[in-house]
Amino acid sequence: MISIVAGEHGKAGAGYYGVAGQEVDADIALPALAPFAAPGPVESERSCTVPSLSGIEGDVEIFRGDAWLAEDTRFVECRHSSAGYTIDVEGVGSLSVGASGDCVVFGGDRRAIDDVVHQLLLGPGLILALSLRGTYCLHASAVARKGGVAVFLGESGAGKSTLAAFLAGSVGSGWQAVADDLLPVALDERGLWALPRYPQLKLQVDRQPSLPLPERMPVHSVYLLENVPSARAVSLRSLSGVDGALALVKHTVAAKLFDRDLLARHLRFCVGAAAAIDVRRLSFPRRRSELAAMRSVLEEDAPRLRSTGEPRVLEPLPI
């Protein structure tokens, strides 16, 4: 369970949610999580105790500089110690995330919880807590067909949302929207899983695609979208293990805030994920008429789980 502590009196059970495969117990109501409200204990017992993380011996600076939050540039400082993370945002307050990802605590003025604080809690706070628990958030759009999820990665403006919206809007084609912007994923011995119950912050609360979806769905393919204006046609090419793993690394949200242990765990996750599924580059000329061609390519590219015979052997990865 992840506890979010931001209320003035630390009132338990104000909001109880099932998000990205985790129970989230917040002492304030979080409207962005309303679609994922779950029946929780009325008076939950908090296991989360967050010491003052600042000034602990041995803490190290992870990031210090300007960052963009709630339509404004703000000075941000992120530090890490054995107790967890602190993220100080100038003019907003500080956020602490426990080392095991079990709690997210707002340390500013709790009488003035506003939109910006909500974004701080649900952005860096919750995403960092999930990452510490082994669920990483991809900056990706995603659609599902025949029970398997296709994930689209790409630079901003590469057309991730456009392609997902086109597929989901193709009547009778069987594609279903899963994620528009953020997709939590987790890995186990059976493969890579999408955890669609996560707020798509670009979409209205009542238009969340994940509402009718199961809690977790197998990821069948990951496509790295690449706009090649000189290309003649849509094409698909498998990436090497390193390129596939690093495509996942690069499109992981909040990796800039990871400390060295979490960076290493994250890399191991990405290597494992790239071994479990194919990561392929989907190149396309930037013409809107290509969307139908892309759909054909994707529909022909049936779920290709690793071929039979010997499974790919991964090395044990000592840190």
Partner 1 sequence: MNAISRQTVVRPAANLFHTALPGQQLLLDTAGHRYFALDGVGARAWELMALDRPLSAVHATLLEEFDVTAERLWEDLATLVAELADHGLVDLADQSVQPPGAVPELPRAAPARAWAEDVFTSRELEGLLRVAGSEMGLPVRFRAHGACMWPAIRDGDVVTVTPLGVRKPARGEVVVFRRPGSDRLLLHRVASVAGETMLVRGDNAGAPDGVVAARDALGVVSALERSGQPAGVLSCPTTAWGKAALRFYLSWLDARFALISVVARGSAAFRGPLA
Positions touching partner 1 (CB under 8 A) are 31-32, 34, 63, 65-71, 76, 114-115, 118-119, 122-124, 127, 139, 181-182, 199-205, 240-242, 245-246, 249-250, 253-258, 260-261, 263-264, 267-268, 271, 274-275, 306-310, 312-313, 315, 317, 319
The token pair at 222 is 């990951």
Q: Looking at the DSSP assignment, which residues form a beta bridge with residue 192?
A: 187
Ramachandran category for residue 134: left, alpha or beta (phi over 0 → left; psi -120 to 50 → alpha): left
Residues 6+ apart with CB under 8 A from 103: 2, 3, 4, 5, 48, 49, 50, 96, 97, 129
Q: How far apart are CA 79 and CA 234, in angstroms?
A: 44
CA distances 17 to 21, 24, 38, 180, Å, are 10, 5, 5, 20
53 contacts: CB under 8 Å, gap ≥ 6: 59, 79, 81, 83, 84, 85, 86, 96
Question: What's the closest the beta carbon of residue 135 comes to partner 1, in angstroms?
Answer: 16
- 103-106/2-5 β-pairing: parallel
In whole angstroms, the minimum distance from the beta carbon of 179 to partner 1 comes to 12
- Smallest distance, Å, CB 207 to partner 1? 9
Query: What CA dihedral angle connects 288, 292, 294 and 299, to 10 degrees?
Result: 160
Residue among 24 and 274 whose Cβ is closer to partner 1: 274
Cβ of residue 118: shortest distance to partner 1, in angstroms? 6
**Residue 114 Cβ, how far from partner 1 at the closest point, in Å?**
8
Task: Return the number of the residue (221 or 290) whose C-beta is nearest partner 1.
Answer: 221
Pick from 220, 140, 223: nearest CA to 184: 140
Distances (CA, A) of 285 to 225, 230, 238, 289, 301: 11, 6, 18, 10, 19
CB nearer to partner 1: give 156 or 289.
156
CB of 46 to partner 1, least distance (A): 25
What's at 84, amino acid-wise?
G
Which string of DSSP letters, residue by residue, matches 252-301? BTTGGG--HHHHHHHHHHHHHHHHHSEEEEEEE-S-TTHHHHHHHHHHHS
What's the closest the beta carbon of residue 251 comes to partner 1, in angstroms? 9
> Whole-number minimum distance, CB 263 to partner 1, in Å?
5
Nearer to partner 1, 42 or 319 (CB): 319
